[in-house]
Amino acid sequence: MKAMFNIVKEQISSFYLIQRLAKFQLRIDNQSNYLGFLWEVINPAIQMAMYWFVFGYIMRRNEEVGDIPYVYWMLAGISFWFFINKAILQGSKAIYQKYSMVAKMNFPLSVIPSYIIMGKYYGHLVLLAALIVLFCFGGYYPSIHYIELLVFLVMAYLLAFSITLLTSTLTVVVRDLQMLIQSVLQAMFFISPILWDRSGSMPEWLQAVLVLNPFYFLANGYRAALLEQKWYIVDHWQLALYNVGLIIVLLYIGAKAHYKFRDRFSDFI
């Protein structure tokens, strides 16, 4: 537990540094683009339009999911996916890509994946704000359930950090792991309720397995807060406790691995 508490202390004490580095990284990523940071919203918006056209218009004929038009249902869930996917993919390779910059400095290495995630988090918040405006045009107005949305936003960040703390450490040791992470995320995209949800028509044992996927909980949580006007955490409190416990376990494992290898990163790199 000591390693996990030390990681948490590093994040809190380096919070200002993480913000500065995240903003700096965003400027670097977009410095050659005329529209700059706007591409953090435009790029996922183009992909959203493509997914709606293929899965909503061609394959599903725009049918509703419950009482919600498919386009809104899909947008609420996929907004979460764009953040978690980019955060894990880029955060997982952050240490071995950035280590040479801080190797001779007294720098908390756990901050490296953290500021990469924070940069993606800024883009996620802007995209989510744009979607909220769009949902208002569709008749889905902000409500008291947005309080729960704040909880899901915090959980999404913590999930991304706990996963990335572990994977960014392991990819320094085994570089091929990055390719495995990319493949696993692609599989998770299609088995999570991002573009579809037919879990209700599946055998009960398979439903029980699918709900253990943390992406399942958060994607549906976003939808409940933004569109369904439901207290998703209250209605699914067992699932909420499971996901909080999962984040803690992943953070514990990631912290142990990080402290075990951090003094040997230079040897592996």
Strand partners, 69: 64
**6-34 pLDDT, tens per residue?**
888 989 988 898 888 888 877 777 666 66
When pLDDT is cut at 50, 70 and 90, the band that residue 215 belongs to is: very high
- Inform me whether the pLDDT recorded for 61 exceeds 60: no
The pLDDT score that the predictor gives to residue 176 is 80
Mean pLDDT across the stretch 47-69?
Answer: 68
**33-46 pLDDT, tens per residue?**
666 667 767 777 78
Domain boundaries, the chain: 2-268
- Chain-centre distance for alpha carbon 219: 10
Taking the C-alpha atoms of residue 264 and residue 269, their distance in angstroms, rounded to an integer, is 9
Taking the C-alpha atoms of residue 107 and residue 110, their distance in angstroms, rounded to an integer, is 9
The pLDDT score that the predictor gives to residue 162 is 95
Q: In the predicted model, what is the mean pLDDT of the chain? A: 84
Place of tokens 């309720």: 193
**221-261 pLDDT, tens per residue?**
999 999 888 899 989 899 999 999 999 999 999 999 988 88
If one compares 20 and 263, the residue with the highest pLDDT of the two is 20
Strand partners, 68: 65
